[in-house]
Amino acid sequence: MFVLRSAFWLTIGFLVISPHNASIGAVASTLRDQAIAAVVEPGKDLLVRQMLADASTKSFPNTPSAALPMQDLPAAPFVFPRPRPAAMG
């Protein structure tokens, strides 16, 4: 109920304060485009920085690993859960 009341009063406030010759749809589209543009550019920069950092810290892919492959590792013994107390049903 709080969300509906808030949305109602925010809409009324926007209609009262906004210029009467402006289209609400056009204003919303413009704000949406500005918000997307504000998020996309920093996101691109972050991805480029992460890719460059990953590329500089990775070792060469052809170097052999000293660890055993997963298929050659011994199977870990199964750990059984503790029994439930009788008082819990």
Task: Categorize the per-residue pLDDT at 83 as very low, low, confident or very high, splitting at 50, 70 and 90.
Answer: confident
Residue 23 has pLDDT above 70, yes or no: yes
Mean pLDDT of 2-12: 92
Q: What is the pLDDT of residue 66?
A: 67
- Judged against a pLDDT cut of 80, whether residue 56 lies above it is answered with no
- Would you kindly state where each structural domain of the chain is located, as residue ranges? 22-57
Query: CA-CA distance, 33 to 37, in Å (whole number)?
Result: 6
